[in-house]
Amino acid sequence: MNAVNAAGWRPAMGGAEEPAEKFATASGDYGLMLEEPLSFELGATDKCGVDIDAPDRAPAPGLSKFLRKAAPNLPGLTEPETMRHYTRLSRQNYAIDLGPFPLGSCTMKHNPRLNEKMARLPGFADVHPLQPQKSVEGALEVIEQLADWLTRLTGMASVAMSPKAGAHGELCGLLCIRAALDARGETRDVVLVPESAHGTNPATAAFAGFKVESIPATPAGRVDLEALKAKLGPNVAGVMITNPNTCGLFEPEMKAIADAVHAAGGYVYCDGANFNAIVGKVRPGDLGVDAMHINLHKTFSTPHGGGGPGAGPVVLSEALAPFAPLPFVTRGADGSIHLVEEENRGEGHARSFGRMVAFHGQMGMFTRALTYMLSHGADGLRQVAEDAVLNANYVLRACEDLLPAPFAKSGPCMHEALFSDAGLAEGFSTLDIAKGLIDEGFHPMTVYFPLVVKGAMLVEPTETESKAGLDRFIASLRSVAERAKNGDESLHTAPHFAPRRRLDETLAARKPVLVWRGDAG
């Protein structure tokens, strides 16, 4: 039994209940959760944390100009103070090793430590992009093997390994499409993007110089095929479709969509960010996809978030393979392997659109992804998709009686369960559910996305959560939802037991305080 009940109150010794605020301490600490000042507040800038003897001689000739004119404005901390400061801060950070990250479309799953061990092997961890090729043959072998896995899993002709993340991969695919259209002597300037696509899709299309036209969704949350067909014409370069889409649903008419786009002379780009829901089960190439990025840091494991690290290889159909970017790894007839970096590289790849990055890719990502594939095998990767879908449907069916699930009646979801705040008491919203979950010890789900659902709550449990772990999350989500349906006012000020209380998010966005200025304010 938790010491704090669902309403956010702590039982007193005599059995009565009192507000948590009554238990404030003089130090600001809350049990073992310590209130931690900034490092500038811990240590004074006029002292040093270690004893350093004054220099016994003048700087070498020519170096005196580099001497500081004044002491650095940095706090002086001893080694124990420094270690305790960062350790205390780490206790205030939620992590996958503490509990699940139910963020829809993010695939924040547990990452096997085996992958980390392999990525830290000498030769991978310390590889340098400017090393002679003869000294990095093992690394090139890893890239070539990983590329082979990706093409076989997707049923595609080739793969560009250099894109650094999902949106970068989207740009790569669109540049391949533009190069293919240029080779045909055609100027097509429109990209169709369904409402259920990831938000980066229209942004990337616009960045690449295309005009974006939206395709509506059906009441079942899928692409409206007839609406898409009505917009096809000689000006359409292609479609960018997310499958499974941001509502956590598979597009059953994907092949019909691809056939229609191809018949109109366009190409099909598939956002593969949700590939973990279909890996080993569906090959996008069989559905008519021409280009698709794969977030290695989502489907094939690597800690991600906060901007990196990432990798977004792009698999390409036979129609787009000749236009792939440089550089790429190839294997010669004699079995030798090398990195091709020059434009003059043979008839098969003579029409590349050029180079996207200075170097080939993110070696740590490649090593972790290949380790993940080899340790799972084809059958294991298929189980990854099956377990991800099973877990999401378990959450969906366990909560749909309390939280409206807009598309639940149209069949099972894929890897994400989508709810809305339509059934909550007046004045309560998705934000209250999210903040209430923090008091329950969970990171909130994705909120207010996708935009096609009002007050959306998108839950992705991933394949690495056990039934016991899901049951605990479900119990907490149901508890918070019941409080919101019953008008529990304490939710409006949640979280109560986190290191920080609820922020004024509007003020934080409009007037962020990003720099500590001490007494200067």
At residue 501, the pLDDT reads 83
Reported as a pLDDT band with limits 50, 70 and 90, residue 102 is: very high
DSSP 8-state secondary structure symbol assigned to residue 217: B
Domain ranges for the chain = 1-31, 37-91, 136-369, 384-510
CA distances for 275 relative to 211, 271, 303, angstroms: 27, 9, 17
Lowest average pLDDT, out of 58-62, 243-247, 437-441, goes to 58-62
Reported as a pLDDT band with limits 50, 70 and 90, residue 152 is: very high
Distance CA 266, CA 489 (A): 54
* C-alpha closest to that of 77 among 52, 34, 53, 41: 41
Distance CA 171, CA 205 (A): 7
| 70, pLDDT greater than 60 | yes
DSSP 8-state secondary structure symbol assigned to residue 298: H
Distance CA 508, CA 501 (A): 13
pLDDT tens digits, 180-203:
999 999 999 999 999 989 889 999
At residue 307, the pLDDT reads 54
| 171, pLDDT greater than 90 | yes
**Amino acid at the residue 102:** P
pLDDT tens digits, 460-518:
999 999 999 999 999 999 999 999 999 999 999 999 888 888 888 889 899 998 887 76
Q: What DSSP letter does each residue of 356-402 carry, written as one string?
A: SSSSS--HHHHHHHHHHHHHHHHHHHHHHHHHHHHHHHHHHHHHTTT
Is the Cα torsion angle 386, 392, 394, 400 positive or negative in sign?
A: negative
At residue 306, the pLDDT reads 53
pLDDT tens digits, 336-385:
888 888 765 454 456 889 899 888 778 889 999 999 999 999 999 999 99
At residue 5, the pLDDT reads 44
Strand partners, 447: 457
Distance CA 357, CA 335 (A): 27
Fold category of 136-369 in CATH: Aspartate Aminotransferase; domain 2 (3.40.640)
* C-alpha closest to that of 273 among 52, 36, 483, 458: 458
In this prediction the pTM is 0.88
170 in helix, strand or coil?
A: helix
Q: What DSSP letter does each residue of 434-494 carry, written as one string?
A: HHHHHHTT----EES-STTSTT-EEE---TT--HHHHHHHHHHHHHHHHHHHTT-GGGGG-
DSSP 8-state secondary structure symbol assigned to residue 218: P
Query: What is the pLDDT of the chain when averaged over all its residues?
Result: 89
pLDDT tens digits, 205-247:
999 999 999 999 999 999 999 999 999 999 999 999 999 999 9
* C-alpha closest to that of 299 among 240, 381, 235: 381
Token reading at 173? 């695919």
- The residues, any chain, with a CB within 8 Å of residue 36's CB and separated by 6 or more, are 85, 88, 89, 92
Lowest average pLDDT, out of 3-7, 152-156, 245-249, goes to 3-7
Q: How many CA atoms lie within 13 A of 254 on its CB side?
A: 23
Reported as a pLDDT band with limits 50, 70 and 90, residue 22 is: low
Token reading at 366? 């490649």
Q: What's the whole-number mean pLDDT along residues 101-130?
A: 89
* Greater model confidence, 145 or 341: 145
| 6, pLDDT greater than 70 | no
Asked if residue 373 lies in contact with residue 146, where contact means CB atoms within 8 angstroms, the answer is: yes
23 in helix, strand or coil?
A: helix
Distance CA 364, CA 129 (A): 13
Phi and psi at 271, nearest 5°, equal -75, 115
**Amino acid at the residue 47:** K
Phi and psi at 315, nearest 5°, equal -85, 145
- The residues, any chain, with a CB within 8 Å of residue 204's CB and separated by 6 or more, are 167, 170, 171, 174, 240
At residue 204, the pLDDT reads 96
CATH 3.90.1150.10 fits 384-510, yes or no: yes
| Strands, sheet with 291-293, edge to edge from the N-terminal-most edge strand | 158-160, 314-316, 291-293, 267-271, 236-242, 190-194, 211-215
Asked if residue 445 lies in contact with residue 102, where contact means CB atoms within 8 angstroms, the answer is: yes
In terms of phi and psi (left: phi > 0; alpha: psi -120 to 50; beta: otherwise), the region of 288 is left
At residue 26, the pLDDT reads 72
At residue 3, the pLDDT reads 42
CA distances for 35 relative to 501, 513, 514, angstroms: 13, 20, 20
| 12, pLDDT greater than 60 | no
Phi and psi at 437, nearest 5°, equal -65, -30
Q: What's the whole-number mean pLDDT along residues 305-329?
A: 86
> What residue has token string 């019941």?
482
Measure the N-to-C terminal CA separation of the chain; round to a whole number of Å. Answer: 44
Lowest average pLDDT, out of 255-259, 264-268, 411-415, 493-497, goes to 493-497
In terms of phi and psi (left: phi > 0; alpha: psi -120 to 50; beta: otherwise), the region of 307 is left
Q: What's the whole-number mean pLDDT along residues 93-110?
A: 88
At residue 67, the pLDDT reads 85
At residue 139, the pLDDT reads 92
Reported as a pLDDT band with limits 50, 70 and 90, residue 24 is: low
